[in-house]
Amino acid sequence: MKGEIKETAGKMAEEIRERQNPDGTWSFCFENSPMTDAYMIILIRSLYFKEDALVSQLVKRLLNMQTKEGTWKLFKDEAEGNLSATIEAYFALRYSGLLHEKDPRLVKAERFIKHMGGLEKAHSLTKMMLAVHGQYEWRHIMPVPIEVLLIPRTFPISFWDFSSYARAHIVPFLLVRDARYHLQSARTPNIRHLFLQGRSDSLHDIDEDRFFLFEKLKEGIKGLAGFPELLRSEARQFAKDYMLKRIERDGTYLSYFSTTFFMIYALKSIGYRSDSSIIKNALDGLKRMICQTDNGPHVQNSPSLIWDTALISHALQESGLSFENETIRKSVDYLLKHQHYKFGDWAIYLPDVSPGGWGFSESNSIHPDVDDTTAALRAITYSAGAKPEIRHAWERGVDWVLGMQNRDGGWPAFEKNKTKGILASFPLDGAEAAAIDPSTADLTGRTLEFLGSRAGLTKDHPDVKRGITWLTMTQEENGSWAGRWGIHFIYGTWAAVTGMRAAGVPSSNKRIGKAEKWLENIQRTDGGWGESCYSDQRGKYVPLSFSTVSQTAWALDALISISDQPTPAIEKGMGRLLELLHSEESSPAHTYPTGAVLKDVFYAHYHSYQYIWPLLTLNHYLKKYG
């Protein structure tokens, strides 16, 4: 089998090299939920932009993705369908003007929406979009006054305690809600008949934590000096300035589709015209996020150019390609050009740490994250060893990563110590995951893996030791770790195990042993691994009925890092991985979403993952076993 592994790895490396762009990048689609496609249709139609061809293509894609029952799903094994995704697609198709409201496909979707409880059972993001277009009452959504934006950072709870992702969304939400903004015209479809119960029960049943949060926010607002109307005006100006200062060079607001979409309506609510340069540039930026899929054009929430380029460059170097090779040299040159030199919001509480990170998307210049930074640093490590100017960039990146370590010893995604649990009670669905930016097993494990394998830091280094301690304290009873940005326990366990092993934790360590046993216990009879997105939603391991390429590669990579000799589980798994790599790329093994972004809303299918993780795993097997 080693011969087949070597041959497959060689062919994969050559194929991925041939896909490199002239500028040194690799561009793959970051495919997420139908929401972005639906929202793009709604945006174009509601603002009367002349984009009929694009609307037609997006409508075709949505219809291609509709199930025979008339629903839309976030992942293949989702029962029946996803209510919010179905509402969004239904409203977008109605708004497109290309389907009659009595079209059988729309009738089926409407029947499902009613069956699932109507508009009031949708996700907060969906309700916000509907409210903007006059289909939902603002009084039922996020009853938070805009003045909370002015609560000083010194107060126990303030706007600045939220994660950067949450802040980016909360600002336009508060602005449009404060104005009770409705953008309706003759072409706006009326779907208010799908609001079945007359109110949103979830916002009326306030639990103790949410009550405490509201009381604290009220207390913070009472402490503000000034007349009520003046404070409100000041808060609205703050919201406007916050968004405008974070517009990237491509016109988008922090390089996200979702934030940019709501920013456009927030600006409309304070008087901006649809033909203003800011709104037109924002639309152009969103159009540049479009990638091509088998079902037609898809609007990515945030293109993954930096992430994919860094990971592929590293994987090719792991397969034996020298840093002096032109393929690697071009990718390194590109990554160096996109290292951050600006102070972003992350620096508010870290004024002594210099910029040095990387973001997920090419346009991202002020919103770096730990995962992309360690990915880029892996890719430039060998080059940094030979060239002093690259060494300086590498050291800046390492310093930034070390500076981002949370006080508990783990690593967050975007900002340090955004961990106030009470903010999980903020009245937005998914706040428990998005409102804060805590340490996670995948980010901590991946950071430790970089520090151990590329930066030469061992388990005795104080920062590494704190990271390992955090991981040991957060391991699940069954031996797994929960991930945050991948699905879910397989991803977290892979990251934690490979991170601890790279830092020098021995295979005999009982935590490592428990993880190994868990991975072997969940191995499928076909030899592979497959985990459902339901694991992310339910907080417990839920298997798939099939194996996936990326999850099989993650599990194998973790087991390979543990064992000095190929075990039966590894051998059987490698055999299955080879079979999967030779299967149709359109099969669920390749296309099932194994990336997690926002629970119940975004699950991501990284088109690059069918190359990156198996290539790394195949080469790690060959390096270790012959």
Catalytic residue among 369, 371, 372, 442: 371
Count other C-beta atoms under 10 Å from residue 540's C-beta: 13
61 phi and psi, to 5 degrees?
-65, -45
Burial zone of 204 (CB within 10 Å; 0-12 exposed, 13-18 middle, 19+ buried): exposed
Q: Is 371 a catalytic residue?
A: yes
Please tell me the distance from the alpha carbon of residue 620 to that of residue 626, in angstroms, as a whole number.
10
577, 553 Cβ separation under 8 angstroms: yes
Q: What's the rounded Cα separation, in Å, for the pair 102 and 99?
A: 8
Tokens of 371: 């995962």
Cα dihedral 545→549→554→559 (10° resolution): 80
Residue with tokens 């479009």: 290
What backbone torsions phi and psi does residue 514 show, to the nearest 5 degrees?
A: -65, -40
288-291 contact pairs (CB < 8 A, 24+):
288/250, 289/36, 289/252, 289/257, 290/54, 291/27, 291/28, 291/29, 291/30, 291/31
Segments of 33-154 assigned E as strands: none
Cα–Cα dist 139/195, whole Å:
14
Which tokens is 427 given?
Answer: 């009245």
SS3 605: strand
Please say whether the beta carbons of 444 and 410 come within 8 A: yes
CA separation for the pair 435, 553 (Å, rounded): 31
Rounded to 5°, the CA angle 452-458-461 comes to 120
**CA 528 from centroid of its chain's CA atoms:** 25
Cβ atoms within 10 Å, residue 385: 12
Cα 350 → chain centroid = 24
Rg (CA), the chain: 24
| b/e per residue 323-360 (b: at least 16 CB within 10 A) | beeebbebbbebbbebbbeeebbbbeeeeebebbbbbb
The answer to whether the beta carbons of residues 130 and 188 sit under 8 Å apart is no
Q: Hey, what are 223's tokens?
A: 């402490």
Q: Name beta bridge partners: 595.
A: 486, 604
Q: Which sign, positive or negative, has the C-alpha torsion 163, 485, 492, 331? A: negative
Residue 477's CB is within 10 A of a number of other CB atoms, namely 6
Placement of tokens 């990146």 in the chain: 397
Residues, the chain, total?
A: 626
Amino acid 12 reads M
Catalytic amino acids?
371
